[in-house]
Amino acid sequence: MFRDAHRDPQGQILTEKHTPTELEKTLVEYWAAVDYTQQGYLSMDVMVAELKNFKEHYGLGVTKLQLHSVLAEADFDAEGMCDYKKYAPRAADLLSRLLDDDMVMEKHVALKAMEAAGTDFSIVHGMDQSGIESLLMQEFEAGAGGSPTLQMKTVAQVLTQSQLGLSKPEVDTMLVAAQRGADGDIVWAPLVQYAYYILQQLAQDAAYA
């Protein structure tokens, strides 16, 4: 098993290739361990938390933003729940690509070539970082009515209707990345500050795809 194969007496992580099958099996183990109802469904928050635990336990070389982009491809129902066993193969495939050194280097070289040819990845949706933050701040302030938190459906509505013209993958990734308050509502100010980096990463991914 992936869990046992990556242990050694000193707790170091071995550098052998992570296959989708190994990743899928262990992801299901992690998510099933917190599926206390044994219904096969978990909320977005729980899936995010366990994927982060998975990353930290095995020392996987992926960023927080990459984890968010992986979970953004999960299918959540109207109640915000996901069939994690059904989603695990897709998550494992995405993670295996992020952990493939050859693919990472190939993407890095390709993006550098695009930049040398004139592609400016510092501009996203026609705006720089300050422009995106300023616009989203105005839009969220208008939707929040002075409240520092908003329900997820309201955040999704603000993002979907944003003048930035965000795509569904962009909106989904931001919803996954959003911080929740004690009541489960989204604290929207940190999301506004994080949004540019999410959009920039997704723009690079789209350019390379």
Structural domains of the chain ordered from first start:
2-102 (1.10.238), 118-208 (1.10.238.10)
| Whole-number pLDDT of residue 5 | 39
Report field, pTM of the whole predicted structure over 0.85? no
For the segment 70-86, the average pLDDT, to the nearest whole number, is 90
| Whole-number pLDDT of residue 11 | 32
**Phi first, then psi: what are they for 171, rounded to 5°?**
-65, -45
Could you tell me if residue 11 is left (phi over 0), alpha (psi between -120 and 50 degrees) or otherwise beta?
left
For the segment 78-88, the average pLDDT, to the nearest whole number, is 91
User: Taking 70 as the threshold, does the pLDDT of residue 26 lie above it?
Assistant: yes
Question: Which of 59-63, 91-95, 128-132 has the highest mean predicted lDDT (pLDDT)?
Answer: 128-132
For residue 6, give both structure tokens: 């990556």
User: Taking 80 as the threshold, does the pLDDT of residue 43 lie above it?
Assistant: yes
For the segment 130-135, the average pLDDT, to the nearest whole number, is 97
For the segment 172-196, the average pLDDT, to the nearest whole number, is 91
| Whole-number pLDDT of residue 180 | 86
